[in-house]
Structure formats: structure tokens, C-alpha cells
């Protein structure tokens, strides 16, 4: 069966151990988590966990059903790209000297990224955007020597006035 990536938004009670229980559920079921973020919400008693996982249709449905059964889960929904705002932050340190610095700077400008640190032999670029934008930028700069990189993982909200 073909696999799909799905973004899940999970509202949970904000107390210790909840993240471990959610992650453990994914692990026990054999699902790999591609991305995981946890954040506060407008209600201090509730946290939002955003998970990106891959699987076939039945496996992804099981994620929703099993996660909904957790005592701490208040609500879970999938966030398809066309009905949600999905963002990610990238920090990437690239080896840069006078021979390639201007080319990397041009790529950063095209992607509307910021150069947040510059030294004689490297630069750190910060980029925020859709995961596909992050992937595109990384494809462009991958021909240069990437020294370090960190991606936050996807965070997402449903479009429109609907509230989860």
C-alpha cells in the first residue's frame, strides 16, 4: 500500500509525562515520528502536540483512534496542507568563504532567509516557511559544505475560523 505523510494536531492536558505517553504510543505501534513539536496554547491547562508521521491509510487512521483513547488527549485532528498553515524553522551553518559566500547569500535572498551569523569561514542562515520551502532551500545549498543544521519540526494550525 502507498504511504502518505500526515500532520496531526493533538490537544492534550498540560502536565508532565504526556509527551512521553504520546511518543510511546507511536513507538509501540511501530510508527516513526518524522517531526514533533509541543507548544503552549491560549489555555495554560492545554498543550498542542504537532506530529508528522508516515504510513498507509489504515495505519494513519489507527494513529488517530489510538491517540484519541489516551486519557490526556482532549482532541486530535489531521491537518491537510490545503486546510492548514504549516511552518518550520531551519538554522543551517554552511562553510562559506570569499569563493561561495555571495552565491549562498543570493540563495538566502531568493528564499527570504536571513543570515544570522557570519564568520570568516562560515555563515548561519535562518529560514522559516512551509516544509517544502525548507526542503527546496536545502536542496539548493546542499552542494556546499553544510557543517550543522537544525530543523524545528512542523507546527500547524487549521485555516479559517474553526477552532480545535
Residue-wise pLDDT tens digits, 15-63: 999 999 999 998 888 888 999 999 999 999 999 999 999 888 898 999 9
In this prediction the pTM is 0.86
Under a CB-based contact definition with an 8 Å cutoff, are residues 79 and 156 in contact?
Answer: yes
Report the distance separating Cα 61 and Cα 73, nearest Å.
Answer: 16
Q: How many CA atoms lie within 13 A of 50 on its CB side?
A: 21
DSSP letter assigned to residue 46? E
**Max Cα–Cα distance, the chain, nearest Å:** 57
Domain 4-78, CATH class in plain words? alpha beta
Identical fold between 4-78 and 84-156: yes
Residue-wise pLDDT tens digits, 89-117: 999 999 999 999 999 999 999 999 999 99
Kindly list the domain boundaries of the chain, sorted by start residue.
4-78, 84-156
- Residue that is written with C-alpha cell 502507498 in the block: 2
For the CA atoms of 87, 89, 92, 98, the dihedral, rounded to the nearest 10 degrees, stands at 80
CATH code of domain 84-156: 3.30.70.1150
Amino acid at each position: 500500500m502507498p504511504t502518505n505523510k500526515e500532520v496531526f494536531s493533538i490537544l492534550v492536558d498540560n502536565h508532565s509525562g504526556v509527551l512521553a505517553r504520546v511518543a510511546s504510543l507511536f513507538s509501540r505501534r511501530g510508527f516513526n515520528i518524522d517531526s514533533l513539536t509541543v507548544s503552549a496554547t491560549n489555555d495554560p491547562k492545554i498543550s498542542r502536540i504537532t506530529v508528522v508521521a508516515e504510513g498507509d491509510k489504515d495505519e494513519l487512521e489507527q494513529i488517530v483512534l489510538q491517540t484519541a483513547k489516551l486519557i490526556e488527549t482532549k482532541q486530535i485532528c489531521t491537518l491537510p496542507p490545503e486546510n492548514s498553515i504549516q511552518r518550520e524553522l531551519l538554522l543551517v551553518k554552511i562553510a562559506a568563504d570569499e569563493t561561495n559566500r555571495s552565491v549562498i547569500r543570493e540563495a538566502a535572498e531568493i528564499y527570504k532567509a536571513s543570515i544570522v551569523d557570519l564568520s570568516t569561514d562560515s555563515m548561519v542562515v535562518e529560514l522559516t516557511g512551509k516544509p517544502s520551502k525548507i526542503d527546496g532551500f536545502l536542496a539548493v545549498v546542499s552542494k556546499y559544505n553544510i557543517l550543522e543544521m537544525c530543523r524545528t519540526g512542523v507546527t500547524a494550525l487549521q485555516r479559517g475560523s474553526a477552532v480545535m
